[in-house]
Amino acid sequence: MIEVESLYFKYPLSNDYVLKDINLKIGLGEVVGIMGGNGSGKTTLIKHFNGLLKPTKGTVKIFGKDTREESVAYFSKKVGLVFQNPGHQIFSDTVWNEIAFALKNFGFEEEIINKRVKWALEFFNLTQYKDTSPLLLSGGEKKRLCLASVLAWNPDFIILDEPTVGQDFLQKEKLIEIIKMLITQNKTVIVVSHDVEFIWLLQPRLILISNGVIVKDGDCKSVFKDNAILEKCGLTKPQLVELYEELYPLIEQMPVDIVEAHSMLLKLLRGSK
């Protein structure tokens, strides 16, 4: 459980608060989307979820422990954060060592480390690069490596900052599958993204941030109905929501994916709802 109470945050040397009066509870097994304009405070917020940043005022508790009371390493074992920019995460000489690094730090035994690194390499199609420098990977492959490194240590919370940037269609589909699989294991996945189509496919609890303040926190469908809030956050609607609005009341529900939209449209064309 991550509990945030009256969180205010400002960076050193800065006068303005980047986060203002944030209150949140995120439990196990949830899938949560966080959206908002550039500079609205999304990355700053999630850096509080593993103790990387500490509140200027207010508290953040992870499994009941105040983030001021323990090290980032302590919280990271439970909360894995995949950075927006892979360059901020990658620093080992080979892809294998990059995945093994955290596992060694957390004190796993050699045999388990080898097993987990092997699993992560295979799962993310990176085995062929195991002896390669991560710096030589493509942008999309680097992002996959960062996710592989975090999933290898099996944290309860997985936070992904802009995971779809630079990913092709197949990798995005795979990412959806991975996130759904993690949820079935009662993990929590928090996704920060500008990608409305990706977020729509996940159907998460959706939190919108504008100028450091949470302006909406609700299920994905209700959030995408709130035109005033969407405008405030500079968000467009997913195409399937647009389709629903065009056809309402001929179709009564928002289709969550193209398969559902297809069957709704077929029924409509055949003259039954």
The correct pick among 4, 24, 30, 40 for binding ligand ATP (CB under 6 A) is 40
Tell me: does residue 43 bind Mg ion (CB under 5 A): yes
Tell me: does residue 210 bind ligand ATP (CB under 6 A): no
- Give residue number: closest CB to Mg ion: 43
- Here the tokens at position 21 are 């009066």
Q: Please, which residue, 18 or 152, has the CB nearer to Mg ion? A: 18
Contacting range for Mg ion; rule: CB under 5 A; set: 40-48, 55-63, 150-158, 246-254: 40-48
Neighbouring CB atoms inside 10 A of 263's CB total 11
Query: Shortest Cβ distance from residue 266 to ligand ATP (Å)?
Result: 38
Give the x/- contact pattern for Mg ion in 72-91, rule: CB under 5 A.
------------x-------
Helix (H, G, I), strand (E, B) or coil at 189: strand
Q: Please, which residue, 84 or 188, has the CB nearer to Mg ion? A: 84
Tell me: does residue 149 bind Mg ion (CB under 5 A): no
Residues 66-85 close enough to bind ligand ATP by CB under 6 A: 84
Do the Cβ atoms of 100 and 117 come closer than 8 Å? yes
Which option in Mg ion, ligand ATP, none does residue 32 bind, with CB closer than 5 to 8 A by kind? Answer: none
Neighbouring CB atoms inside 10 A of 169's CB total 7
Q: Please, which residue, 47 or 187, has the CB nearer to ligand ATP? A: 47
- State the Cα–Cα distance between residues 239 and 24, nearest whole angstrom: 29
Cα atoms in the Cβ-side hemisphere of radius 13 Å centred on 77: 11
Contacting range for Mg ion; rule: CB under 5 A; set: 6-14, 36-44, 137-145, 208-216: 36-44
Contacting range for ligand ATP; rule: CB under 6 A; set: 21-29, 35-43, 97-105, 265-273: 35-43
Query: Which of left, alpha, beta for 206 (phi over 0: left; psi -120 to 50: alpha)?
Result: beta
Tell me: does residue 38 bind ligand ATP (CB under 6 A): yes
Cis amide bond preceding 204, omega within 30: no
Contacting range for Mg ion; rule: CB under 5 A; set: 35-43, 111-119, 163-171, 200-208: 35-43
Q: Please, which residue, 41 or 238, has the CB nearer to ligand ATP? A: 41
Which option in ligand ATP, Mg ion, none does residue 87 bind, with CB closer than 5 to 8 A by kind? Answer: none
Q: Which of 214, 176, 229 is nearest to 45 (CA)?
A: 214
Do the Cβ atoms of 75 and 51 come closer than 8 Å? yes
Q: Please, which residue, 43 or 188, has the CB nearer to Mg ion? A: 43
Q: Which of 266, 52, 38 is nearest to 162 (CA)?
A: 38
Contacting range for ligand ATP; rule: CB under 6 A; set: 36-44, 195-203, 240-248, 258-266: 36-44
Q: What is the DSSP string of 134-169?
A: GGGS-HHHHHHHHHHHHHHT--SEEEEESTTTT--H
Position 123, amino acid: F
Pairing of strands 157-161, 65-66: unpaired
Residues contributing to the site for ligand ATP (CB under 6 A): 11, 14, 18, 36, 38-44, 84
